[in-house]
Homo-oligomer: A and B are copies of this chain.
Amino acid sequence: MYPALQSLKARFAEIDDLRRAVSVLHWDMSTYMPQDGTASRGRMIATVEKAAHEKLIDPALAGLLEETGALPDAMLSADERAFLRLARRQFVRASKIPSGFKAEFFQHMAETYEVWVQARKLNDFKVVAPFLEKTVAYSRALSDFFNAGETAWTHPMDPHIEDADPGMTTTDLKTLFADLRRDLVPLVRELSSRSKPRTDFLSRACPKSRQVEFLNWLARNIGYDFNRGRQDLTHHPFMTKLGAGDVRITTRINETNLCDGIFSTIHECGHAFYELGLSPSQDGTILGHGTSAGIHESQSRLWENQVGRSREFWTYFYPHLQAHFSEALGDVSLEEFYCGINRVEPSLIRTEADEVTYNLHVMIRFDIESQLLDGSLQVKDLPGAWNDRYEADLGVRPSSDAQGCLQDVHWYYGGVGGMFQGYTIGNLFSAQCFEAALEAHPEIPEAMIQGNFSTLHSWLKENIYQYGSGLFPQELIHRVTGHDLSSKPFVAYLKRKYL
């Protein structure tokens, strides 16, 4: 191997190690850290992140990138070319931000977060509005830094989207989302007018310890390997990759909402399957991660919805579930359970939305954050704009800020711009992806009835997971489907299932 390439790989391996150390610090903070550990943990995380950033913007690394840039493509393996492309991308993005800016921005976001917690408690957007104005200014400044020297970007949200979902732009997504909205709004209206299935049993009490038992069993039985991971309880469920053989999930237990734990477990398993299924040759390198927020979400949503809310899935699992929670589910048939977990109803809260209405929530946020960034919406007008859009798209109007524009942490913790599109990209691609899997293996649903997911696992590994970050999202979507990202398979799936 070329010495410069070898050095570059070693440097990026260290950067990756430091980032994963940060993930360990976060995991511990969310699971087992004692109450008084907070202050020192915040400092520790900032320091390790800084160490990783320093290594990334090191002039010696820039020199190695230049040197390896001169290597002819033909002399490099596919993995090496993919590595160099991603390494350059990470370096360029990191070095566009002036030193000091990030620390200042993080500091502001940390303060904003505290104020948001208060504002939500007081149910008063005005409390946090001045902070959000500053956040918008910071987020615009970030756009400008990234935009410097680029000509392809036409909207200030583009660089933010590029960060999470490389290769996608505001304009493209607006077109795509408009198509989707055109299909969804009438569909939701039609489904809302139908008679509602029984859902009383979904809020019956199920003891925590029994739920933990079942969720571990369920994760194992859909293919999660506890030698290479573990499941713990946290306030917000998440998946985190701490090593090639250490990909952990967390879940949340609600004693009067059995579905909360079930679907968050399946969802996080979907994320974990992706990370656990990467090619071993990418272990410990920057290629050894899912390629984008949207693609990652497609894998979790595929398992949560296409698989986990299907009749076939519960044909196998419901008898187990019913036996485990006989007090809560003894009088509930499989069909009642299936209809209950798939009830469609417009609501105010994104995280509680069903799979039909969910993307309407996301697209409202996507449009609003793009308007905040390009100046066509002022922060002071946010609550009204939010409520109007809910009424137009979902037919429901929030009666308070807490139920409206204060509900999600994203803008008050991470910044404005590029925060939400990944959720809908994920939903759309999950349908394209599952459609492609079924086309290749029509027997997958039948196997699910037997509790057998091996064909699906293999197909996903071969067609999605193995590429890690070696393919950018659109390259991957093309390779899997032969097409661009599209809303059609998703809408067709919904119509098939619900009409």
A binding-site residues for B, Cβ under 8 Å: 13-14, 17-18, 20-21, 24-25, 27-28, 32-41, 43-44, 47-48, 50-51, 55, 226-230, 232, 242-246, 248, 283-284
Supposing A18-B48, A24-B28, A47-B17 touch, asked if A284 and B40 sit within 8 A by C-beta, the answer is yes
- A to B CB contacts below 8 Å, 13 in the list: A18-B47, A21-B21, A34-B230, A34-B248, A36-B245, A36-B246, A37-B228, A37-B245, A39-B244, A40-B242, A40-B245, A41-B246, A48-B51
Beta-carbon contact of B21 and A48 below 8 Å: yes
Beta-carbon contact of A245 and B25 below 8 Å: no
Residues of B within 8 A of A37 (CB): 228, 242-243, 245-246
Shortest CB distance A223–B (Å): 15
Shortest CB distance A74–B (Å): 32
Beta-carbon contact of A228 and B44 below 8 Å: no
Beta-carbon contact of A44 and B230 below 8 Å: no
Shortest CB distance A427–B (Å): 30
Please name the residue on chain B nearest to A47 by beta carbon. B17
- A21-B25, A39-B245 known; 18 new pairs, CB 8 Å cut-off, are A17-B44, A21-B21, A21-B48, A24-B44, A27-B28, A32-B32, A32-B230, A33-B242, A34-B229, A34-B245, A35-B245, A36-B228, A37-B228, A37-B246, A40-B245, A40-B246, A40-B283, A48-B48
A48 to B24, CA, bound (A): 12
Shortest CB distance A17–B (Å): 4
Residues of B within 8 A of A40 (CB): 20, 242-246, 283-284
Beta-carbon contact of A14 and B47 below 8 Å: yes
Residues of B within 8 A of A14 (CB): 47, 50-51
Please name the residue on chain B nearest to A54 by beta carbon. B51
Residues of B within 8 A of A18 (CB): 47-48, 51
Please name the residue on chain B nearest to A276 by beta carbon. B36
Shortest CB distance A282–B (Å): 12
A228 to B33, CA, bound (A): 9
A37 to B18, CA, bound (A): 16
A37 to B242, CA, bound (A): 8
Residues of B within 8 A of A38 (CB): 245
Shortest CB distance A426–B (Å): 26
Q: Which of B35, B36, B43 contacts A17 (CB 8 A)?
A: B43
Beta-carbon contact of B244 and A35 below 8 Å: no
A253 to B456, CA, bound (A): 43
A34 to B34, CA, bound (A): 21
